[in-house]
Structure 1
């Protein structure tokens, strides 16, 4: 049985729509658009309450937006003509997960670390620093292990984050997409990671983990 009535909407975006052209370059506007798919009047932490996560995938044919939530998603709340949406429940996927299962994965993450300060500044909070290269790979390895995945392969793709007018001063986002294969080592931890997302930057399209059965040799 699924631990949550989670759903996933796959939206093939209309590249000619003005709202789409705006949203893919503006994280604040994208967030506002997607929140039109969840119930109103949820307060200041509506994204957390609904468990809303999203990821923008880009290929030669255009952009596909994946939107996941722990509540039903109302795709009719999107601007008219925004894209073609297909929504499905995630219960069958959760039911298929088990320890030892080989999977293919995809995730966009925001790898960061906290700046270390000298002892004379011990009462200050260090800056949040983005990670890249091997440091980012190691960050993802650690997070994947804690989330119940033993990674076999990982392929990084650096993504330019959309701008945001509401980001805190000095905050920088470094978005990296990882694709690869893995084996499930802890189904409970993995289920929780899928539902809650991994890492920071969830309002910027980071954290949504997609899984599919790995091809058998």
Structure 2
């Protein structure tokens, strides 16, 4: 697997004028793997948009390395980089403490009597959005660490309603929440699966990718 990153050239509005909704970013990610398009395989790649030190990046986790010329289409020249992710995954161990970042779509479903599938609703409040992640962690192979006061060591660092345009110009808004904090690996196999396949819904549209770094 590969973890790739490119700085988005937001200072060049002519270059990035197409990036006005999540579907455009999804298309950018898809087009970064031309061989998969030719083979009509199109694997599901995780991605998200990060802002670090006043710079905005597209981050992609994929089985194959993205094509540099396609991946840099909306990027600052020379900022695209891809690194093997397998060695890092293999270095993780149960009980290890990590600092994480996750952008996700916290939701819940309500099943109406007589219906087979529930209707999905977004969590709205900060409390609901935090409780969603705490609940998710119980089946995702990690637990969120607590501080000396007994409070969970994580925060919501941003949240918004991101725009997505479907075919026919139908516009919807997706709840997008970014979390940061400290976790401990409780089940290594489940945790690796979480890193590879993501957390929650709307993974095609920039949600679900969790990245971690070891706490020294």
Normalization by structure 1: what TM-score? 0.83
Higher helix share: 1
| Local SS of the residue matching 1:92 | helix
Higher strand share: 2
1:134 and 1:73 mapped to 2: Cα distance?
37
Give the number of aligned pairs: 202
| Local SS of the residue matching 1:20 | coil
> Are 1:65 and 2:58 an aligned pair?
yes
Offset, 1:155: 0.4
CA contact (8 A) 1:128 1:171 kept: no
> Are 1:130 and 2:122 an aligned pair?
yes
When the two chains are superposed, the root-mean-square deviation of aligned CA atoms in Å is 2.3
With over 3 angstroms needed to count, the CA separation of the structure-2 counterparts of 1:129 and 1:159, relative to structure 1, is same
CA contact (8 A) 1:9 1:87 kept: yes
Structure 1 residue aligned with 2:24:
29
Which of residues 52, 55, 68 is equivalent to 2:48? 55
CA contact (8 A) 2:165 2:171 kept: no
CA contact (8 A) 1:129 1:172 kept: no
| Local SS of the residue matching 1:129 | strand
1:190 and 1:147 mapped to 2: Cα distance?
6
With over 3 angstroms needed to count, the CA separation of the structure-2 counterparts of 1:78 and 1:10, relative to structure 1, is closer
With over 3 angstroms needed to count, the CA separation of the structure-2 counterparts of 1:173 and 1:80, relative to structure 1, is closer
Unaligned runs of 5+ in 1: 1-5
Q: What are the residue-to-residue correspondences of 1:74-113 with 2, within 5 Å? A: 74-78=67-71, 80=73, 82-83=75-76, 84-113=79-108
Unaligned runs of 5+ in 2: 146-152
CA displacement 1:70-89 (0-9 Å, x = unmatched): 12211211354622211100
Structure 1 residue aligned with 2:211:
210
With over 3 angstroms needed to count, the CA separation of the structure-2 counterparts of 1:170 and 1:63, relative to structure 1, is closer
Which of residues 92, 106, 109 is equivalent to 1:114? 109
Offset, 1:171: 6.0
Offset, 1:198: 1.0
